[in-house]
Structure 1
Amino acid sequence: MSYITWFTEHGNKHKAIVEKLQAKGLSKENIVDYFDFDNMVKSESDFCELYADRKKCHDVENLNCYLCACPLFRFNSNGIEKIDDKTAFSYCEVNSKFGHQGVFRDEIHQDCSQCTVPHSKKYVLRNYDNWFSVMASCDVSIITN
């Protein structure tokens, strides 16, 4: 699955959940609390493929899934640049010390598995907005093409 396909499908699932919660009158804080990993596994099992095995994408105690992706992640499904006969498809905007570029066959992708920043409740509340708005800068093909 391409980055843009995942991005769009996931964003639409996220939007539907938030709209459902807003229709119930939940506050911003209650909505963010709803996206706690343990609750999402029970309440929204189709939101993430890892939920079926109760597997977390990051090893953090209070994982919040509201920003299931990072606003600092950058991608272009068609590739960003060539590096030593390999194509880079993604990178971290701030070059986090917790991430690195992983090489998979002839592709280079950002590996954020050791970075937990966007999954804390504090970070989510500070950056709370419509998921597509928060993530608007991620798809660099929109900016560069």
Structure 2
Amino acid sequence: MTYKKWFLEHGNKHAKIINKLVNLSDDELIEYFRFDNMVKNEPDFCPLYKENKKCHEYEDLNCYLCACPNFRFDDKGIKKQENKTLYSYCSIDSKDGTQYKGEDYIHQNCSGCIVPHKENYIKKHFKRDWFEIMKKVNLSK
């Protein structure tokens, strides 16, 4: 699956949940996206939910910003780096992020970073429109 395909599908799943919870306050909505609640109430939101598995080992994991506003991608490639094509990177160069480097590609590895899964970060960047929060992520437009 391409980054763009995942991005669009996930944003649409997010919007569907937001639309059904329109009566909740912003704080209640953010609380709804806590991992334990999402596993029970939105099992199709994430493939890991079926195994009750977290993408990041963080006790207070919140899934509102599954995908990070600091992530950047282009399925066609962003630039050449070390004779490899860079397809994604972290715009804040998080100290907890790394890169997957293959023979001819480089992809951002966010598995060590929990920045977008903390509720204080979510509240700082909160909008009900996930695509609006993520407007800088997709470089391929």
Report the AA paired with residue 119 of structure 1: H
2:60 corresponds to which residue? 62
**Which one of the candidate residues 65, 72, 75 is aligned to 2:73?**
75
2:99 corresponds to which residue? 101
2:131 corresponds to which residue? 132
How many residues are treated as equivalent by the alignment? 140
| TM-score using structure 1 length | 0.93
* CA root-mean-square deviation: 1.0
| Pair 1:4 & 2:4 matched | yes
Classify 1:39/1:104 alpha carbon distance in 2 versus 1 (closer, same or farther; 3 Å).
farther
Distance 2:28 2:102 in 1: 39
Structure 1 gaps of 5+ residues are none
Report the AA paired with residue 5 of structure 2: T
| TM-score using structure 2 length | 0.95
Q: Give the Å deviation of 1:105.
A: 4.5
**Which one of the candidate residues 111, 114, 117 is aligned to 1:113?**
111
**1:26-60 Cα deviation digits (max 9, x unpaired):** 10011100000000000000000111111111110
3-state SS in 1 of match to 2:61: coil
2:15 corresponds to which residue? 15
3-state SS in 2 of match to 1:141: coil
**1:90-123 Cα deviation digits (max 9, x unpaired):** 0000111110111145321100111101001111
Structure 2 gaps of 5+ residues are none
